[in-house]
Amino acid sequence: MYCPSTAVSIFREPEVVRFITKTREKSREEAVVDVFNETPGGSGFCSRGVQDGGSTVGYELVDLQSRTTVPFAWLSDKLPPNWNEELRHGKFSFSREGFAFAGDIIEGAIREGAKVLLLDEIGKLELKGSGFAPLLRQALDSGSDLVIGCRKVNIEPIKSEFGIS
């Protein structure tokens, strides 16, 4: 689903904003990675679930270019050693290092003139102005095309909150 952006920006607006959601055939992470692999000049990150005994205990962020990972969001009662919490939302604790990692990826990609920026996941935190909201605004202002990983239920609220049509 492609849609041009009408976000007001003092810089450049993206030509294309694409939303990626989970399907029956693929996880959102798989779909984002597929788009990255098919898109020359792209850069960004995706969230990957971490399992323990068949249950999701957390999520790590994956740099789509280098495949480097950092722990990002973990169940508050299953935190790894030396966890450096930035914020809590629901049952999850979010790491300061994860936010810094994502910021380095997107800000570096913008500086290097990436044609496409991929951000996964944008959700409730961002709709409240927290989480990756500042990065998404930077990405919208960069002029790069965007691929946003999110839940289907959040597409319209994200469009509304961030001025995407």
What type of residue is 72?
F
Q: Is 147 left (phi over 0), alpha (psi -120 to 50) or beta?
A: beta
| pLDDT, tens digit (0-9, with 9 covering 90-100), for 115-160 | 999 999 999 999 999 999 999 999 999 999 999 999 999 999 999 9
* Strand pairing report for 145-149 and 116-120: parallel
CATH 3.40.50.300 fits 2-162, yes or no: yes
Query: Does the pTM of the predicted model rise above 0.75?
Result: yes
85/106 Cα distance (integer angstroms): 21
- Cα–chain center distance at 59: 12
* Residue spans per domain, the chain: 2-162
Give the separation between CA 62 and CA 41, rounded to whole angstroms. 17
CA-based torsion, 96, 140, 2, 45: positive or negative: negative
pLDDT at 111: 96
CA–CA gap between residue 145 and residue 131 (Å, rounded): 21
Q: How confident is the model at residue 13 (pLDDT cuts 50, 70, 90)?
A: low
92-95 and 42-52 beta bridge pairing = unpaired
Let me know if 81 is exposed, middle or buried by CB neighbors in 10 A (0-12, 13-18, 19+). exposed
